Chain A
Amino acid sequence: MSDQTPTPPPDPILTRFPESVTKDERKGYSGYIIKPDKLLDFSGFVRDTLGYDYLSSVTGVDYYPEDKLEVVYHAYKSTGGSAFVYKTQIPRDDAVLPSLVPLYHGAEFQEREIWDLYGIRFEGHPDLRRILMWEGFAGHPLRKDWREPFYEEDIKPYKNRWPEGHASYIEDKNPFHNNVVYPAGFDPTTLTADTETLLYAGLAKAVHPDGTLKTDSVIINLGPQHPSTHGVFRMAASLDGETIVDLKPVIGYLHRNHEKIGERNTWIGNMPYTDRLDYLSPMSNNFGYAIAVEKLTGIKPPERAEYIRVIMAELTRICNHLIAIGTLINDLGVYFTGMLYALEERELILDIFEAVTGSRMMNNYFRFGGVVRDFPEGVLEKIKDIVFERLLRKIDELDIYVTGNEIIKERCQGIGILSPEQAISYSITGPVLRASGVPYDVRRAEPYGIYDRFDFEIPVRYHGDTFDRYLLRMDEIRQSTRIVQQAISAMPGGPIFTGKPQYIVRVPAGESYGRVEGPKGELGFYLVSNGKANPWRYHVRAPSFINLTPLSAMCRGHKIADVVIILGSIDIVLGETDR
């Protein structure tokens, strides 16, 4: 019987690892499933033999009904192309995996996050502490059987809203004392914050060989309440005099478990939540999520909507880079002059967003299969005014103000250098990666939407220092204006939405990873659907979270005052970092 059917050629990956690698054959899934004990070998093979040198995303999924946890790896080639997906599965009660940090430094924070939220221990991880929750927190919140205080239901919509929706405050209904599960043997009187001990013990101290000048070894905390950290971000730095010996970022002060909220929300209900991730570039977040869901549902937005999406995403990028440049100047101590010059232009773009989407920052403008509404009357003229006239003029002005300034050059050049090899290994994306000389941009490497139709350059700079990151953002603003100019000129008429807008979105079972080039780097959404009205897994691959991984390597050896501008040049937004 099998004589007639031609046998497909054997998969080289399967033949290389017979016993331990299988193809993922669940419906709607792709990639390979690896046995945990071979994970390190296989990852080495993927990186060195297959050439997937850039590990984009590592995340966990809790398949609670099947009583197993899965860790999903998305690897890319830094020369472009599509993803290589591989997974490994472990039982929920004995969750231990080898760490990939020796192969990909970029896995460091992501593995810490998985340990924190899923309770998977990574053997061989250099610094496996909780990252978003605090040390001593009970349980691992993203596991499906974990419940928070004031827990209502597993999925939205909550049943008590309709048809008998008597309004009440949740805490009146659900008193605190009845709702908190303390771990067995918990005694609040013995509660000690050992977070700090672990953190400080992990910091390298200054070493003085005999005969040199002895300086005090001091540990300094910058933040979390510090104006130069762009939010509630903290860095514990170990100093030798004024030089950084070691530094560790401490995050999670703005953590709200966006992903757990996302798994409770309906598909459409997540869209406004994505605005709140990177609140300086909400439309990019909308774009990423819309693309990830459209991959699952297979809806394609109409032409006009695609153009509107590109215009909005690029205007968002301009806004974001203006803020990034403005705050960098501010961090350098120029107080507010430069910042306000940049903010003026952003203000005009926000006026456009307000007229189109109804909101200046929390736009909630994209839908699966299009956008909410067409441009109202007069908006197109306003965009034209900005991208064809004012912005070009103003960017040149900002250029004169900042680029030639010797003080800024002295402060920025040669500070916080990241080599291209380091950048790839640390999974850095966005302007920081391109300023290190790697011409990697998702818009080119794996075009989404209609980005393959536009004529634009991927700017690259080669020094990899703070000044180059600033210059690169200036270049990107210019390229973005070019894209918007082309998009406006070529924009067709027609509908802006495919199908009929519906509040219940039918999403077939399966997984998808949608990624866009956000202003801060690659923004990815990993979604798992089980065919129901809510996502089973909703993971955000946040660029400003992963771009923080090499912060300590970039700061070592520099002065304490430089830390502020190195951080400013990475351009993080805490809404996205902490999620």
Chain B
Amino acid sequence: MCASASNRPPAIELQGLRKCYGGKVALDGLNLVVPSGCFFGFLGPNGAGKTTTIRILIGLTAPSAGSVRLLGLPMPGKAFEVKRRIGVVPEDSLLFDRLTGAEFLQFAARLYGLGGEVAAHRAAELLALFELDKHPRKLIGEYSKGMRKRLMMAAALIHRPELLLLDEPFEGVDAIGARLMKDLLAAQVRRGATVFLTSHVLEVVERLCDRVAILHQGRLLLEAGVSELRQAAESLEDVFVRVVGAAQSGHKLEWL
């Protein structure tokens, strides 16, 4: 259940969001409200428009039509204020390869307005928490994929954001790292932050999230509380397959 407080505006509010790439429609009139304090799972098959949505939310892509409000503020109009209050783990790497993990975290913290000492202190703590402190002088360019994801998560958390936008955050992360990240995200929601997450691992989404939305071909097909789905005695995977994928499973290749 989302711990939404009535006096707080929705964390995310999308109205009639549309994005076209040439003739291809990536998002087709998306309307979505994510309450504050919610752990929200944003699902869809490959190419559904999830990453496009996240890129629009964080201002990397401009929508063709529609409006976006994050934490009650319009985007991109109040982008600067919004960016200070959100943490992002995008699908692509945001990391500068020629810095060490500690340097990058301090760098990110100071850009978020933290003082030098606080930045260094938090960076050290986060590195230890994410078990990235074994090789303090190793450059990020030499990190494995899982280490890079963990570092991105640490950078997204360092300024204690009110809203976390996470695009496939567990991809490439080992079981221990993933468990740590899940616990941390759950703790963020308990303290009142909102987590907006995309993932293809439906079991994880089902276990962590309060609400889910399923996007397909740029359109919102379903939005519901996870508890409502459970009452219908269906797993999230069953719902997902029923909603977006049933027609595709019948084809078999003779030669394969």
Instruction: Report whether chain A binds chain B.
Output: no
Q: Spell out A's residues near B (CB within 8 Å).
A: none
